Structure formats: structure tokens, C-alpha cells
Amino acid sequence: MTEATMPAIEWAMIMPVIIMMLTGCVALIIEMFWPKQNNNLIVGVTLAGLGWTAFNLIGQLGSPAGETLNGLVVRDTMGLVTQLVLVGVTFLTVLFSEPYMRQKKIAFGEFYPLALWSAAGGMIMATSHNLLMIFLGLEVLSIALYCMAGLSRQEHKSEESALKYFLLGAFASAFLLYGIAMFFGATGSLHLSNMPDHFHGEENLLVISIIMMLVGLGFKLALAPFHQWTPDVYQGAPTNVTAFMATASKAAALVAAIRVLSSFAIIEIYWQPLLVAIAVLSMAIGSLSALVQKDVKRVLGYSSIANAGYLVVAFLADYELGDPNFTSAIFYLVVYSIATVGAFAAISIVAKNGKEGTRFEDLYGMWKNSPLAAGALVVFMASLIGIPPAAGFFGKLLIFQSALEAEFTTLAIILAAASVASAFYYLRIMHAAFVENQGPIPTQAAPMKFGLKAALMICIAGTVIFAVTAGKVSQTISGDQPETAISVMNTTGEV
């Protein structure tokens, strides 16, 4: 046996994950000692920890890429930006969770540590080239999410969604693992970077491996045909958990998928057509099935499937163009996350006295009861549709540009068509918020709490700021590489 040597550890690179994990422990200990008090202290500690992590991450943004712990952890711009997205969506979710969970009478303090750990799992997943780490990160992310989905213990649909998510999630991770096993069999390592340039052995093993891993990661990304769980789980889980699930889980899985796929470059002729088919199917199912839905959270579930399709198109285009930082995919991820968290925050206002209806009718009268929430909903829907002043427009523009540049013309056209089709249901949500309530019992939303207001304001601000500074942000993501798509964004962004 070779002499085991302790590798030098660069603590700075793993600091964000450590802070998140420890903050989770502190929050859980506080909840243990003051079980029946209000959760304000836990929320405070959680937000402080998240702020510290974000501060730490922003400090690392300019630093050079590298790896530590024998390559188990890598630091690059894509990883750092994704970690920031994860921290940001957790922050926003935590902000509006407390008022929402109080109204729903499920104010359990355990939610906060679970959210922190789940996000930390996502951060591990986003910053590794090692399949063992990616698998462990995925499981830390998922197992905490299974618990969170079943948080509303007295509600049948919440428990049902937790069970569905759990069983299908475990099923999908078995596929991912089988893929990892095949990768190990082919290369003798779990390191993605150990993939040889010219593979002489059995290519079959690698092909099976990438297909199996695509099933596992596609499930987390909510890509068709692995999307069946999405509408049910999104509808059944508490709204704050759905907000977290729709963004954090997608961000982490996207980056893991990007890392896995781009290291399988030698067999790209196999996975590229597969991915094109998956993208088309996701966009079609996501934008067409939602048209007949009656529940807002279900509609947003289908929206999440369609957006996963857009992200795959962005990945394919960036990959084809040889962009190492996957600018358009990551930029769209940022924009999508803000709009989605905001939309769920806005509809969380419907919950009152332990009851929560999320059908279109339940949003009626929102404009009268809480103009801020209704107005915010308009902004987020505009961003998701891609109406010019909102950030979503620039995200879609960038994807469209790169797709055309990479000569994925058909995909670009399908993307545009799917965007138009999905505009109908986004507009329906917008419309519902402005309809006068004519039901027998007027739905009176609870008075808005500070947390919800703050979360909505931050999301609106984010949607505007990312629109104005679209060029600059995408330049940060791409690591200051002069690119035609970005220069176009720069000129449009300043109009």
C-alpha cells in the first residue's frame, strides 16, 4: 500500500458549506431549548448565517479557480455563482416562511435547520468533480427536502407529496448510483476529471453510465420524461417548501449535470441527441399541460418543467460554443430563481388560519386585499414570460442568441414557441389576482408581515436590477470573456 499523506486543505474553499452546516446545528439547538417559544431567534440566526455565507462567497468571486481535498472540492466561477443562488433562494424562502407557517399553523422551528442543510447539500453538489461527492450532496439535499415536503403533518396532500417525492427520489438516486458504478467500472475512478481523452476500453459502459446518470439528475431537474412527480409534489408541499424545491434543487442538479455531461465529451455523439429530445419534450409538456390546470401551484410546477427545458437548451448551446462557464444557462438560472421564489412568496399570502387554497379562484380579490403581493405577482409573471423590461427577457434573449449561434435553430424556434404558449397560463395567474371576488365567503388575506414584504421587495428589486445590469452580470458569470451574445446584451441592457 502506498503511504497515506494528508492532503493540504484550503479551508477558504469549503468555508461556505461549513458555515451553513454549523448555522443549521446552532438553529436546531436553539429550537431544542425553546421548543414552544416563537421562532424569531431561529430565523434571526438562520438569516445571519446565510448572510455570512453570502459575504464569504462574494469575497471569493474574483479569486482564481482551484481545487482542494484531493480534488473533492473545486472552486470556479460557475460553482461560486450557483452557491450564491442557493444561499439567496434559501434567504428569501426563510424570510417569508415564518409568517406563512404561522398562518398555516405549522410553525415548526425544524424547518430552518433543514433548509440550511438542504442548501448546503446543494452547495456540495455544485462544487465537485467527484461523483461520490455529487451523490452525497444530492442525498443531503434530497433527504432534508423529503422531510420538509411532509412538514404539514395534518394535511393529507402534504404527506402524500412527501411520500411520492421520497419514493420517486430514492428510485432516481438508485439510477444515478448505477450510472456512477458503470463510470467506475469503465475508468477505475470516481473523478470526472480522470476521464481519458481517448477511451480505449469498453465504450458501452460509458454510454450506459451517462444514460443512467441522466435519469437520476433529470429527475431532480424536473425534466420530461422524469417529471411526473413535479406537479403533485409542488401542489402538496407547503408553499415555502415548494419555492425552495423549485429553485435550490434545480440549481444544484443543473450544475452537477453540466459538470457530468461536459466531462463525457468523448461520447457526446450519444448524449447530445438524447438531451435535445429531453429538452424538446420538457418544453412541450411544460408549456402545454399547464394550460388545463386549475391549481396555481400545479401550474408553477409545469412552468418549472418548461424552464428546465430552457436550461437544457442553454446548456447545449453553451457546450457547443465551448463556453467553460456556461453563461447563458447560469444567467437564466439566476433570473428564473428570483422570479419563481417571488411568485411562490406572493401566493403564500392566501394561507390563513390553517387553511390554504391555491386554486385560481382562491387568488381572486388579491389586488384589493394586498396590492403589493398582486403587483409583485405581475412583475414575476412578466419575468417568467419574458416581457422586455423584466430580467427574464434578457435571460431568454441570451439563450436564444447562443442557440442560434450554435446552430440549434430548431431548438431556438421551439423555445420561442413554448414561451408564447406558456404566456397564456402566466397571464391567467396574473388575471386571477385582479378578478373581483364574487364567492360567498370573501377571502381576506391576513395582514402582510414584514418578512413576506421584505422577500417580495427583494425579489422585485432583483428582477429590475438584473434587467438593468444584465450585461454586467453575465460578464461576471462568464469571467470577463468578450462574447458577441454578451455585447448584444450590453447594448440592449442600457436602452
Partner 1 sequence: MMSFAPMIAEAVVPLTNYLVLSALMFVIGAVGVGVRKNPVVVFMCIELMLNAVNLTFLAFAKHLPFHGDVAQAATTGQIMVVFVMAVAAAEVAVGLGIIMAIFRLRNEVDIDDMSEMGG
CA dist 246 and 305 (Å) reads 10
Cell 406558456 appears where? 422
**Cα–Cα distance measured from residue 42 to residue 25, given in angstroms and rounded to the nearest whole number:** 11
| Closer CB to partner 1, 151 or 379, in the complex | 151
Q: How far is the CB of 154 from partner 1 (least distance, A)?
A: 7
Residue from 150, 386, 451, 462 touching partner 1 (CB under 8 A): that is 150
Q: How far is the CB of 164 from partner 1 (least distance, A)?
A: 8
Residue in 9, 258, 21 with CA at minimum distance from that of residue 126: 258
Per rule CB under 8 A, is residue 320 in the interface with partner 1?
Answer: no
- Give which of 367, 375, 383 is closest to 335, Cα–Cα: 383
* Ranges within 56-85 binding partner 1 (CB under 8 A): none
Beta bridge partners of 68: 73
**Hey, what's the cell of 2?**
502506498
Contact status: 143 vs partner 1 (CB under 8 A): yes
* Sign of the alpha-carbon dihedral angle for 275, 277, 279, 285: negative
Residue of 75, 220, 250, 298 interacting with partner 1 (CB under 8 A)? 298
Q: Which of 96, 111, 112, 146 binds partner 1 (CB under 8 A)?
A: 146
- The set of cell numbers assigned to 63 is 479569486
Binding window for partner 1 (CB under 8 A); candidates: 40-48, 115-123, 178-186, 400-408: 178-186
Calpha distance 194→276 (Å, rounded) = 26
* 3-state secondary structure at position 69: coil
The smaller minimum CB distance to partner 1, of residues 188 and 439, is found at 188
Among 182, 217, 224, 253, binds partner 1 (CB under 8 A): 182
Among the listed ranges 30-38, 56-64, 134-142, 475-483, the one in contact with partner 1 (CB under 8 A) is 134-142
102-128 as b/e, with b when 16 or more CB fall inside 10 Å? bbbebeebbbbbbbbbbbbbbbbbbbb
Kindly calculate the radius of gyration of the chain based on its CA atoms and give it in whole angstroms.
Answer: 22
Looking at the DSSP assignment, which residues form a beta bridge with residue 73? 68
CB 45 within 8 A of CB 27: yes
**Where in 231-270 is the site for partner 1 (CB under 8 A)?**
231-232, 235-236
Which residue stretch of 140-148, 259-267, 337-345, 375-383 sits at the interface with partner 1 (rule: CB under 8 A)? Answer: 140-148
Considering only residues 29, 174, 277, 420, which one is a binding residue for partner 1 as defined by CB under 8 A? Answer: 174
**Cα torsion angle, 469, 326, 248, 310, sign:** positive
Least separation, in Å, of the C-beta of 178 and partner 1?
Answer: 5
| Least separation in angstroms between CB 195 and partner 1 | 12
Distance CA(312)–CA(325), nearest Å, equals 14
State the residue for C-alpha cell 457546450.
319
Query: Rounded to the nearest whole angstrom, what is the least distance from the CB of residue 322 to partner 1 in the complex?
Result: 28
Length of the chain: 495
Out of 171, 199, 270, 434, the residue judged to bind partner 1 by CB under 8 A: 171
Indicate whether 170 belongs to the interface with partner 1 (CB under 8 A).
yes
Q: How far is the CB of 60 from partner 1 (least distance, A)?
A: 28
Smallest gap from residue 185 Cβ to partner 1 (A): 4
> Any contact of residue 204 with partner 1 (CB under 8 A)?
no
Residue 161 sits in the site that holds partner 1 (CB under 8 A): yes
The single residue among 6, 33, 35, 156 that binds partner 1, judged by CB under 8 A, is 156
Question: Is 147 one of the binding residues for partner 1 (CB under 8 A)?
Answer: yes
Q: Is 327 in the site for partner 1 (CB under 8 A)?
A: no
Number of residues that bind partner 1 (CB under 8 A): 48
Backbone angles phi, psi at 280, to 5 degrees: -60, -45
Residue 117 touches partner 1, criterion: CB under 8 A = no
**Binding flag, residue 225, partner 1 (CB under 8 A):** no
Q: What residues contact residue 195 under an 8 Å CB cut-off, 6+ apart?
A: 187, 263, 264, 265, 266
**Helix, strand, coil distribution of the chain in percent, nearest 5:** 75, 0, 20
Which parts of this chain interact with partner 1 (CB under 8 A)? 1-2, 132, 135-136, 139, 143, 146-147, 150, 153-154, 156-157, 159-164, 166-167, 170-171, 174, 177-178, 180-182, 184-190, 201, 231-232, 235-236, 289, 292-295, 298
